[in-house]
Structures are given as structure tokens and as C-alpha cells.
Amino acid sequence: MQNKWYWTFKNILFGPLLRVYNRPSITGLDNIPASGGVILASNHQAVMDSFYLPLLCPRQIQFPAKQEYFIGEGFVGKLQKWFFTSVGQIPIDRSSGDTAQAAMEAGKKVVENGDVFGIYPEGTRSPDGRIYRGKTGVARIAFATGAPVVPVAMIGSRNANPIGSWVPRPAKVRINVGAPIDPLKFARDRGIDPESYETLRAFTDHVMHTLADLAGKPYVDVYAAEVKKSLEAGLGYPPNALPE
């Protein structure tokens, strides 16, 4: 069920403009269950990923969002808080020292309520469009709830909304949705312990490789945050993440 503001933003305020400006299209939409708790695991190319995917998904998606978006002061801060609250985003305190646990608990609650939880396993936007190593939060939520994970590849959103840009550019955006991945079946088929870290890691890697295939992009077995840190320090790409 979509709340009224989510529906308004999607169908009246932002949606029509984005549909004309970026001509977003989606394939594999029937892979998203029509009801019940589900996790949408997407690669992260641009801030606008969180606009394009909800625009084309018939069900309301709840993403975790940093708490700062909900506590701003002044007119802009209040407007920002109203927007993120209205569209059902979940505030996460990233200064608490246990951000991952907070995000996992939030995701579990959404899924157990029978709703759609959106997550970017890379944890941050890709610095160059490739698909990077995923964090195991997506697997932890999946195994804790038994909910299927639907891989979603964002294609072209980086061109429409390059890092550092505020106004979208008129670039075509495509979304490719893969088949649901059953976490418990994944473990059962491989004869591995569903509660072990090795299983969480293996499942997360499987999701990320699937995303790379869906997006048609190379997979890099390094965390994107580590690459960004190296680039920002002027050290260039780490040896194990050099572009081909």
C-alpha cells in the first residue's frame, strides 16, 4: 500500500517529469512479488537511483536514509524532513557506531510487515560504474526473515545524475530486474550452514555477481568505500581494483 504523499510524488510532482526527461524503462518487473515481504538489492550508480526505481515499481519501496535528513533546521531542513518522512524512508543514525545493525533491524521490520525493503549492498555509490563487493547486511536480513532477494540493476542512471550533480541530465535510464533469490534454498542447495558468516559472504557475493551480469558491468572484489578513500587521498586506484 502506497501512502498518499508517496503516490503524489511518484505520479504528480516528480514522476511525469522524470518519465519525459530520462525515459526510464524496466525489464523483469514481474520478478518483483506482488505481495509479501521482499528485499530489492540494487547496484548504486547515482543518488537518483532512489527515484527511478520507485517510479517504475508498482509497490512502495522503503530505503534506509541517514538521520541527518530528518533533523535539519530552518525551512530547508523542515522541507527535507517532510519529504523523506512522507515517502516512507527510514532514518538511520550513522554516528551511533553500529550503523549496520540499525539498518538490518530496520530492514527486518519492513520485510516482516510484508513490505518492500530497498538496499544498496555496495554501501555507497560506485566511483566508476563497475559493481563492487557487497556488504553482508542484505544476506543477514534475508536469512533472518527468509524473504527473497530480488537483484535490480540500474543502467544509465550514472549518466543521468553524475556524482556531484544536482539537476538530472537527459540521459536514458534502464532498470533490469532479475529472478528472486531464495536465501534458504541457496544454503540448502550448497549444503552449507545458513547461520555461518561464510554463508552470508557467499550469498552476498552471489547477489553482487548477479547484479554485475544484469548490468553488463565488471565485478570488482573490493569495497567501493575503500576505492573512494584511496582516490580522495590522491593515491589512485588500489592495485586490486585497477580499471581494465
Indicate the domain borders of the chain.
2-231
Collect contacts of 6-13 with beta carbons under 8 A, ≥24 apart: 6/54, 6/60, 6/86, 6/87, 6/88, 9/83, 9/86, 9/87, 10/54, 10/55
Q: Between the CA atoms of 158, 162, 165 and 171, what dihedral angle is there, to the nearest 10 degrees? A: -60
Higher-pLDDT residue of 80, 167: 167
Higher-pLDDT residue of 241, 80: 241
Q: Which of 43, 62, 54 is nearest to 18 (CA)?
A: 54
pLDDT, residue 222, reads: 97
pLDDT tens digits for range 13-45 = 788 888 988 999 999 999 999 999 999 999 999
Residue 61's contacts (CB-CB under 8 Å, 6 or more residues apart) are: 40, 53, 54, 116, 117, 118
Helix or strand run (H / E) with residue 56: helix 49-56
pLDDT, residue 23, reads: 94
| Whether residue 196 has pLDDT greater than 90 | yes
CB 135 within 8 A of CB 100: yes
Q: Please say whether the structural domain 2-231 has been given the CATH code 3.40.1130.10.
A: yes
What length is written for the chain? 244
In whole angstroms, give the CA distance from residue 74 to residue 127: 32
